[in-house]
Amino acid sequence: MEIEKKIPTHVSIIMDGNGRWARERGNEREEGHKAGVETVREVLSEACRLGIKYLSLYAFSEENWGRPEKEVHALMALMLHCIKNETETMMKNGVRFRVLGNRKRLPVELNASIDELEATTAVNDNITLIIFLSYSGKWDILQAAKQIAKEMVKKQAADEEIDQIGIDDFSSYLVTAGVPDPDIILRTAGEQRISNYLLWQGAYSELIYTDVMWPDFDKDDFHAVLEEYAHRDRRFGKIK
């Protein structure tokens, strides 16, 4: 297969369609989120087997806080349940776990569990699983700009020093500092937009869309995405 010749370093996924998947079956939206967890397990396992080093998942955006309180509570509870039950599997498979986003808005118990799992899995290096939780691209860029501004004010930086701030310097203030930009940004369930996700980091990512809803997305669908990527010609604005 072509994917074996061109394995991406970082695959990022906007996991869309859980709610619609549940509604089509006459269930509450929460059932779709639960079904989506099984897809995460399958895709993570396959990504690890193929040698992909980073798998990141857009689980909950800053805008999602505006959803009905019942659904938000269910999502936070589901995340907490998954964290408490996946430690053994992650350690067995060499998965390093990270959560990136505006964690100040997350429940105290969830933050504590995240800290514990991040510390426990920090020794693993087969693959890094990143969950973007309470995240948005605009928020990320804004918080980075604020950090830089505060530092420049504190040191009373001259205009010349401010002018010397480069792209790499700015990137180091984003929550993804140290994480390679995604080679692929995939969105499931047919929508063709990035919904305020990785606006800086995704500047040269290959955007791939599929009509398959996230709970139905399986190993074969994942292979199809990687095959599509393998046939793309990435030029990064240059001529080959």
> Which amino acids are annotated catalytic?
16, 64
CA angle 232/227/240 to nearest 5° reads 20
Distance CA 99, CA 78 (A): 15
C-beta of residue 118 within 8 angstroms of C-beta of residue 86:
no
Task: Please choose, from the candidates 6, 8, 14, 4, the residue with its C-alpha nearest in 3D space to the C-alpha of residue 198.
Answer: 14
Distances (CA, A) of 113 to 78, 212, 230: 12, 32, 37
Beta partners for 61?
A: 135
Task: Provide the pairing of β-strand 184-187 with 95-100.
Answer: unpaired
Distance CA 126, CA 216 (A): 26
Sign, CA torsion 194/196/198/202: positive
Distance CA 234, CA 141 (A): 25
Helix, strand, or coil here: 99? strand
Distances (CA, A) of 208 to 7, 17, 44, 171, 181: 15, 15, 18, 24, 15
